[in-house]
Amino acid sequence: GQNIDQPTEMTATEGAIVQINCTYQTSGFNGLFWYQQHAGEAPTFLSYNVLDGLEEKGRFSSFLSRSKGYSYLLLKELQMKDSASYLCAVNTGFQKLVFGTGTRLLVSP
Amino acid sequence: GAVVSQHPSRVICKSGTSVKIECRSLDFQATTMFWYRQFPKKSLMLMATSNEGSKATYEQGVEKDKFLINHASLTLSTLTVTSAHPEDSSFYICSADRPYSNQPQHFGDGTRLSIL
């Protein structure tokens, strides 16, 4: 089976830094993606990791360790608009994405 | 701008009705499209992979007679929810695999289906 786990909910304060973890056990691995999703909307692509290490993109960074089956998304300088669900997804092959359980992030003033 | 168009964005209909949702790739040809279902406060669940010119590949537990998928052209895939019932109410999202893109899939805006 495919297991991709994330914390269900997290809270943080505006201006702070938050790290959202994702652990995975999948039948195949061709890269890991992070998406942001606001309620009632489609997911928006944030980042992509296929090799181990850190990928930085403005306020967002994503890290991957393939040997540990682990990734995290780091959000810096949090803003109120960052309140959303964050989904990690594994490309298990042939462009097929399996999504994690999703993390709802609430940013408070 | 959007590269995948999904229509309609919202449907409300009576139990027993069949509902068709369209997913179009706007400026590229998509041999593969994907259909997802999402329940409130849950993550996306892959329902099926839509392959142009051949039968769709359904995930385990998804009824192929209930959720009919047609991918008759390189820019259009349709999902038909047949004889819909209240338990079929959900958010349905399609995506298309765009060649030479840094993203594996581009998502439509989703369809909110409500069965009364």
pLDDT in tens, chain B (116 residues): 668 999 999 999 999 999 999 999 998 888 899 999 999 888 899 999 998 888 999 999 999 999 999 998 899 999 999 999 999 999 999 999 887 776 768 899 999 999 99
Q: In the prediction, which pLDDT does B1 show? A: 66
Average pLDDT score over residue span A4-25: 97
Q: Is A82 helix (H, G, I), strand (E, B) or coil?
A: helix
Q: In the prediction, which pLDDT does A95 show? A: 81
Choose among A22, A20, A4, A91: nearest CA to A50. A91
Angstrom CA distances, A27 to A2, A101, B51, stand at 7, 17, 21
The residues facing B91 across adjacent strands are B38, B112
CB pairs under 8 A between A and B: 49
Measured CA to CA, the distance from residue B31 to residue B33 in angstroms comes to: 7
Chain A contact set for B92 (CB, 8 A): none
* Cβ <8 Å between A95 and B105: yes
Confidence of residue A1 (pLDDT cuts 50, 70, 90): confident
Nearest CA in chain B to A33: B103
Question: How far is the alpha carbon of B48 from chain A, nearest alpha carbon, in Å?
Answer: 10
Q: In the prediction, which pLDDT does B59 show? A: 93
Chain A contact set for B49 (CB, 8 A): 94, 96
